[in-house]
Chain A
Amino acid sequence: DAGVTQSPTHLIKTRGQQVTLRCSPKSGHDTVSWYQQALGQGPQFIFQYYEEEERQRGNFPDRFSGHQFPNYSSELNVNALLLGDSALYLCASSYSDRDNSPLHFGNGTRLTVT
């Protein structure tokens, strides 16, 4: 049973560029959440997708956008990259019909902005 998979594992971009990160949820999960983890910090909630719509959003600017596909996989897009966007981006999936469904995390994408 495949867990949450994220691609790529590492990425280096230049300020001002755009980036797309990808996530496949754990089998049977239909909800995908994205988190940003800066160095030495806990994960910060970016947004959550369910039924191909953004259901909740954290305190992140509109430069951060996402998408969920019919197969429940998801993308995170970041436009006009800033140095401060350098972080580990974590995708987590869960099952909406189960109130106690905990988050299952992927290993993340390490984004470096130079």
Chain B
Amino acid sequence: AQSVTQLGSHVSVSEGALVLLRCNYSSSVPPYLFWYVQYPNQGLQLLLKYTTGATLVKGINGFEAEFKKSETSFHLTKPSAHMSDAAEYFCAVSDSGGYQKVTFGIGTKLQVIP
């Protein structure tokens, strides 16, 4: 069975500060990992994905994440937070991309303070 654990249900950062959202995964097979963002009253939008190859993945809106197999982690970062980054972020794991069942974490709500 696969699972993800997101550390911190709420994270607050100042505008311009580093954003770090933590995610650890559990998987019995090489995982596919994703970060999604959800704005109020909307569906989820893909930020970035890791399948194979380069462990540092760049996504949209300046976000990136690094796959660390030894730490079973896939933390999401952005060098400088913008007010528009305020949203809920979900880490997710699958054993084969979107083809099979995707398991989501509980989510981390990011607040950006002006």
**Looking at chain A's contact residues, is the secondary structure mostly helix, strand, loop, or mixed?**
loop
Complex alpha-carbon distance, A16 and B5, angstroms: 35
Number of A-B residue pairs having CB atoms within 8 Å of each other in the complex: 73
Q: Which of A82-114 contact B (CB under 8 A)?
A: 90, 92, 94-96, 98-108
**Known interface pairs A42-B90, A102-B34, A102-B46; A107-B41 also in contact (CB < 8 Å):** yes
B46 near A41: Cβ-Cβ < 8 Å: no
Complex alpha-carbon distance, A107 and B34, angstroms: 19
Number of interface residues of B (CB under 8 A): 25
Q: Measured between C-beta atoms, what is the minimum distance from B30 to chain A in Å? A: 12
A107 near B43: Cβ-Cβ < 8 Å: yes
Instruction: Spell out B's residues near A (CB within 8 Å).
Output: 32, 34, 36, 41-46, 49, 51, 90, 92, 96-107
